[in-house]
A and B are shown apart, each in its own frame.
Chain A
Amino acid sequence: MKRGSVHAIVGENGAGKSTLMKILYGMYRPDSGEIFIDGEPITLSSPAVAIELGIGMVHQHFQLADNFTVLENVVLGSEPTKGGRLDFALARQRIGDLGRQYGLEVDPDALVEDLGVGDRQRVEILKVLYRGATTIILDEPTAVLVPQEVDELFGALLELKQQGLSIIFISHKLDEVRRVADDITVIRRGTTVATVKPADVNSRQLAELMVGSELPTPETRESTVTDVDVLVVKGLTLHDSVGRGLLTDISLAVHSGEVVGIAGVEGNGQAELVEAIMGMRTPTAGEIHLGSDDITTWSTRQRRGAGVAYIPEDRTRHGLLQDSPLWENRMLGHQTQPPNARGILLDRKGAKADTQRIVDEFDVRTPSIDVLASALSGGNQQKLIVGREMSGDPRLLIASHPTRGVDVGAQSDIWDHLRAARAAGLAVLLISADLDELIGLSDAIVVMLRGELVATADPATVTPEQLGSAMTGAGGAGA
């Protein structure tokens, strides 16, 4: 990339964007390959080295101390001193200069906790500039901004660019990328697919590059969809603690024997929808029905007891007890049901026997059911979770990224299990970032954007490119 330009890097979730950036910022060491700055090969062994070489990073999640002022945050870690004491006057002057020079003016004495998101981002950028960065990496900077703030940010980026700084801009919002970038590099599954000029492509073509054009092999299978409603969500709305909408008026139905897929770029409300259906969040408005029951006010445990199974998105945080043996993890989420419990007592024998069954049936590679969950590889942990959630004849399965981080063989095993359960009448709500998986497994697909269901698609006819466009708001899917 050239000095004084904005270079965008786009790709799907898990395509390797963040990994690449972490290498550039010295947080990971590359296995092979070289990095050059001004023609010189360099070794980035730590963030400190990266900073010294003029590389600065603005993280997706702000790394600011809320109870410090802007000034204190900016100097944190490279405090100017005079005779052993902090020299705030000098720092204040430099921050003022930087702000005026680049159009990033922020009150240096304001507390960060009082600032809005856009201002916090300016502080992050100021922090990087203060350390003398000439190359700035912005990791999904617009994810948290409203459109006006995006415009302001882009104005500042333009300013920085004209002053001769280089900017690496990571995003999957294609229209924004096309607006701001001079060059766009598309990466997929960890390799560069193409480098293009924004003028030469439209958003749809970019989306095609992002998701890859190869279609999944169409499933030659019969529909098992019945007209028996299992999950019905009506007008579900969820606000966060300050009243911003996370979910707006979501309505959907999943029938027995049906897989409904939810497509969407991560962070558009899928996680919140799942947690609302599982009873881990209380909706602001709307109803959730399971069969003939209104379960809106039920606890998570009641819902699970009524036959709702749950494959969580984050298996380490929500799916497993890492420091507990496999057979105790078999109980987790099902600790009130046979074969894990008899009355108020645990049925250890039953749980152990059933864990062995899951290990055998779902091909979980482990020397014994007594090892700790943390000893298993991610794929095997996931197979254990899938096996656990498929046990006990659930009526509804909420599957969030069921094959994330799982190798190809385990992935097709998990798909086979999902298909078999669907044929037996299970209703499945599938959330996935893998568009091939969504199209291959789903009987119906809805697209989620900014907490709303914005489009529906027929998996028999839709292509990943169309879905990708709808997900990023670049255009409607062929409904």
Chain B
Amino acid sequence: MIGRFSIRGVALSVAAPLLAIVFALTVTSLVLLATGNAPLGAFSTMLAQLEKPRIQVNILNSATTYYLSAIAVAIGFRMKLFNIGVDGQYRLAAMLAAAVGGAIALPPVFHVATIILVAMFVGALWAGIAAVLKVTRGISEVISTIMLNFIATGIVAYLLAPGRLAVEITGSNNIGTKVIPESGRVPGLPIIPGTPNLVFGMIIMAIIVGVGYWFVINRTRFGFDLRATGASETAAVASGVNVKKMIIVTMLLSGAVAGLVGMPQLLGDSYTYGLDFPTGLGFTGIAIALLGRNNPIGIAFGALLWSFLDNTSNSLEFDNVPKQTVLIMQGVIVLSVVIAYELVRRYRIRMVASDVGRQLDAELVTTAAQGGSA
């Protein structure tokens, strides 16, 4: 019995992503055909890019950032708390952390640690505003975090001006925070041969965050309370969970991880928060958290897939395929994953319920037979 359960369990968990990928490929092929392009050609062009070491490094680097963003979103999702504000949280956090990092002088490890802590603190603080509003005034965190994104944009624009936190960056007409000195940088890792480009050292941080997320959610009492609140708030309250406290703590955690999102770029590449600092990563995180089903391994695959699509989209132009096709692919993938998992989940519940019923019927028959023979 147990054996059959697990074999089918494995089959079912593989079925969902497979179904989603097949569906997404089909839809994308139709789109390509409709726009007069050969789907197979486009796909193979993109796959061929994978062989280039430079592209490999880029994929890993973007995926590191996406991963952190998706984990920040997933922390809230596990409690049915929708932190749409990761975007504002990471931009404000990265800007202030960059300013602090450029202004202070500390020994190497401490310098980096300070910048990271400032970023986490600012991210948590910004998310915390939404949490306090929700707990004290019942304001939906969806609305408040979206609005806080705009406020963050405003604050960053205000502070990022010469005379405030910004200076002119030499050799360009860009402005940014004072450049972080060597002691505050995280060196890249030469793990991909054949290219001078380095993988962000912060990839290790992303892995630590992923393991920490898994451990806290699945192995601690806090994680149980968090999941219970997400599964059924009423049952969680009856079990003694203080939901208001959970909202505050979870939002702070989500914001703190959101604060890390800008760090790989800041500490591993640009060393300053300038006008060209990447934006929109928080929204990518939402899509990838959905794609990865809030599971730390699933999110890793989701982040790599997303990053692969992003970093190979330029190659489509060689085939005269508009690179925006990739955006369609990404959208279709998220939709099909959400639908496929829901279908498989319903199927699984029906199967288990009928299994339980069958087993109990069988037991009844055995008992009756024993009763008859006795």
Contact = CB atoms under 8 A, between A and B. Distances in A.
B221 A344 contact: yes
Interface stretch (A142-150, A175-183, A364-372): A364-372
Contact of A320 (B235, B237, B242): B235
B232 A368 contact: no
Interface in A329-343: 331-336, 341
Interface size class on chain B is 20 to 34
Given A331-B224, A365-B363, A280 B238 contact: yes
Contact of A345 (B1, B2, B221, B232): B221
A318 interface: yes
Contact of B240 (A300, A320, A348): A300
Interface size class on chain A is 35 or more
Interface string A341-354: 10011101000000
Contacts of A376: 356
Contact of B224 (A300, A320, A346): A346
Interface string A180-221: 000000000000000000000000000000000000000000
B221 to A, nearest CB: 5
Contact of A299 (B234, B242, B349): B242
A317 B235 contact: yes
A305 B225 CA distance: 15
B360 interface: yes
Interface in A50-100: none
Nearest to B242: A299
A301 B353 contact: no
A317 B232 contact: yes
B353 A322 contact: no
B237 A332 contact: no
B149 to A, nearest CB: 29
B240 A322 contact: no
B366 to A, nearest CB: 13
A136 B246 CA distance: 47
Contact of A318 (B234, B352, B359): B234
Of A305, A310, A368, the most chain B CB neighbours within 10 A belong to A368
Nearest to A310: B238
B239 interface: yes
B118 to A, nearest CB: 27
A107 B37 CA distance: 65
B151 interface: no
Nearest to B233: A317
B355 interface: yes
Contacts of A344: 220-222
B236 to A, nearest CB: 8
B232 A367 contact: no
Interface in A402-431: none
Contacts of B104: none
B240 A346 contact: no
B242 A368 contact: no
A333 B239 contact: yes
B228 A332 contact: yes
Of B1, B224, B228, B355, the most chain A CB neighbours within 10 A belong to B224
Contacts of A374: 349, 353
A335 B224 contact: yes
The 4 residue pairs across chains A and B that have the minimum distance between CB atoms: A301-B240, A333-B239, A318-B238, A300-B240
11 contacts: A301-B241, A317-B232, A321-B231, A331-B224, A335-B239, A336-B240, A346-B221, A365-B360, A367-B5, A372-B349, A375-B349
Given A300-B239, A333-B239, 11 more contacts: A300-B237, A301-B241, A318-B235, A318-B238, A332-B239, A333-B238, A344-B221, A346-B221, A370-B5, A371-B356, A375-B352
